[in-house]
């Protein structure tokens, strides 16, 4: 089962993908997480990626496509995968189709977590992430049991450098311009399902899981 989870910044892609990956036993591939790891490790690619991410801009297609292609070729992806944050441009969507053709895989479903803009701003500016295991929290909507400490691994929580109000606004504008058009790309292929993401985390998850259980392969 190959699932693409899409939606604007802060819609809950990562939160839902973490739960769906457990439910359906699929590897969770988040391009944002891949780039944040590269930044943390201080690799050349990480240094380049940080410049784009801190401005709220997308990383150039050829870099992202190369990384995803390599990741999808690993054996753990042969039975399925959950893609979070990729594709994000029409060029990336087309490249994904080509890569999947080569690997003899195909997309089972594209789910779009739909949330309005004011809600997204509140979610992003209140987000906190574990420095150690990457678990996601929210100061108000999903707080840790102990302030600033991860429930799972006792790691320290931090605020992503692109979660400041100005960068958030830039990310939302770029989403509208560059990512929103791929909805049409998938609607034409009959793969697309819109999910109302402006509800609590468990309600959104129940809907997503329900839809994906009905999806074959
Ligand atoms: P990426 O990391 O993918 O960021 P994003 O798309 O902006 O999305 P987020 O991760 O911010 O939000 P999310 O939808 O995962 O929400 P979350 O579950 O955390 O990309 C970052 C950057 O990397 C990009 O800007 C770009 O530079 C680069 N990049 C990555 N992929 C790329 C690509 N393919 N091409 C080019 N560049 C790329 O939830 C958000 C908050 O809300 C959390 O605090 C959470 O606890 C809370 N929350 C979640 N669900 C709910 C709910 N139902 N109710 C209340 N609160 C909720
Ligand atoms: Mg995310
Ligand atoms: Zn943790």
CATH of the domain at 199: 3.40.50.300
Query: Is residue 110 over pLDDT 70?
Result: yes
Q: CB-based contacts of 193: which residues, under 8 Å, 6+ apart?
A: 109, 110, 111, 112, 211
Quick check: CB of 62 below 6 Å from ligand 1? Answer: no
Quick check: CB of 24 below 6 Å from ligand 1? Answer: no
Residues annotated as catalytic (active site), given as ranges:
13, 88, 127, 160, 171
What average pLDDT is seen over the chain? 96
Residue 102 in any domain: the answer is yes
6 lies in which domain range?
Answer: 2-26+80-115+170-216
Residue 22 in any domain: the answer is yes
Sheet bearing 2-6, strands edge to edge? 28-30, 81-84, 2-6, 109-114, 192-196
Residue 16 in any domain: the answer is yes
Structure tokens at 143: 């707080």
Residue 88 in any domain: the answer is yes
Residue pLDDT, tens place only, 59-92: 999 999 999 999 999 999 988 999 999 999 999 9
* Total domains, the chain: 1
Quick check: CB of 96 below 6 Å from ligand 1? Answer: no
Structure tokens at 139: 């100061």
Residue 177 in any domain: the answer is yes
**CA-CA distance, 199 to 197, in Å (whole number)?**
5
Beta strand 157-158 pairing with 127-130: antiparallel
Confidence band (pLDDT; 50, 70, 90) for 216? low
Whether the predicted model's global pTM rises above the 0.85 cut: yes
Determine the average pLDDT of the residues in 10-23.
Answer: 96
């Amino acid at each position: 089962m190959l699932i693409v989870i899409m939606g604007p910044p802060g819609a809950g892609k990562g939160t839902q993908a973490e739960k769906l990956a457990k439910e359906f036993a699929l590897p969770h591939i988040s391009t944002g997480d891949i780039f944040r790891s590269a930044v943390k490790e201080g690799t050349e690619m990480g240094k380049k990626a940080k410049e784009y991410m801190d401005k709220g801009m997308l990383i150039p297609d050829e870099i992202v496509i190369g990384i995803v292609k390599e990741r999808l070729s690993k054996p753990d992806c042969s039975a399925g995968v959950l893609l979070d944050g990729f594709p994000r441009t029409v060029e990336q969507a087309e490249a994904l189709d080509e890569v999947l053709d080569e690997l003899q895989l195909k997309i089972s479903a594209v789910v779009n977590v739909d949330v309005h803009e004011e809600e997204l701003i509140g979610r992003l500016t209140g987000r906190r992430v574990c420095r150690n295991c990457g678990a996601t929290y929210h100061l108000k909507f999903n707080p840790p049991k102990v302030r600033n400490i991860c429930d799972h691994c006792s790691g320290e929580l931090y605020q992503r450098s692109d979660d400041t109000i100005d960068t958030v606004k830039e990310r939302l504008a770029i989403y509208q311009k560059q990512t929103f058009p791929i909805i049409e790309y998938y609607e034409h292929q009959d793969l697309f399902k819109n999910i109302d993401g402006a509800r609590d985390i468990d309600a959104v998850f129940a809907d997503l899981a329900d839809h994906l259980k009905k999806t074959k392969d």
